[in-house]
Amino acid sequence: MRSLVLLSVVLWLAVPVAGATDFESVGYSEETWIVGPGADDCAGGSLVHHHDGDFENGYAWRNMGVQAPYYGAFGEGYDLGAGWIYCGAYWLTQIGNFYDQTADCYVWQGGTDTPPDAVLAVVTGIVFSNVPGWPAVGESDVDLNVGVAGPFTVGYWGNWPGHGEAYFCAADLDGTRGYPWTCIAPGIGYPTGWSDPSIAWGPTRSLGCGAYFLEGGTAAESDTWGAVKALFRR
């Protein structure tokens, strides 16, 4: 009988915990500081974000938590009415594993009253220019140039499927409540698709994803973006 009990314990210990190695954080800190974008500062629009100018943690998916087309993405939702997004602004940090791994930068439809949905714009193969070591956080700006008619989510997907994380999305834990999102991959122990990052990392007020936005105008979109939306619609 004792042998059966010991065997059961060994088999239980051998079963991997779902999601245990698929996400990571840099760890809580109140001593962070922000490095500005410098020469890469966006040339148009006004910067909008939900964070309070400070961050207390940083999040990343890794291994099976990162899958095509954008499982493992992070984003922040906004409802600013019709207007033009000149650039995405991304506040990122690292712990020494960033070796010019690329990212795809997105704008999705929705993200306030409903989860992000159709892709409105994507710029692929971006190497972020400003990713300092934690507890420093750097702002990197990326040209997006897309019109929106209503709520949108701006974010990115780190391109390292099956591998460890290159960098982390900065997280504000005590500022104004925004609309933080992460797209969870299937098969890692969490509900698949868009969820609040609090499901994996605990209470989170907003993420380090913002936009340089100009209010007004119409949400005209090019044929290219229309084709992209069709390809990436979930």
Task: Give the pLDDT confidence of 74-121 residue by residue, as tens digits.
Answer: 999 999 999 999 999 999 999 999 999 999 999 999 999 999 999 999
Domains of the chain from N-terminus onward: 43-232 (2.60.120)
* Eight-state DSSP code of residue 164: -
Check whether 13 has a pLDDT greater than 50: no
Lowest pLDDT segment from 15-19, 76-80, 105-109, 131-135? 15-19
pLDDT one-digit tens code per residue, 185-196: 999 999 999 999
CA–CA distance, 230 with 234 (Å, rounded to integer): 9
Q: Please calculate the CA angle 214-215-218 and round it to the nearest 5 degrees.
A: 100
pLDDT one-digit tens code per residue, 171-229: 999 999 999 999 999 999 999 999 999 999 999 999 999 999 999 854 444 333 333 43
| Cis ω for the linkage preceding 16 (within 30 of 0) | no
Tell the burial category of 227 from Cβ atoms under 10 Å away from its Cβ (0-12, 13-18, 19+).
exposed
Contact 85, 144 (CB under 8 A): yes
More confident of the two residues 17 and 85 = 85
**How much is the mean pLDDT over the chain?**
87
In the 3-class helix/strand/coil scheme, how is 121-158 assigned residue by residue? EEEEEECCCCCCECCEEEEEEEEEEEEECCCEEEEEEE
Check whether 17 has a pLDDT greater than 90: no
In the 3-class helix/strand/coil scheme, how is 180-195 assigned residue by residue? EEEEECCCCCCCCEEE
Check whether 14 has a pLDDT greater than 80: no
Lowest pLDDT segment from 35-44, 89-98, 119-128? 35-44
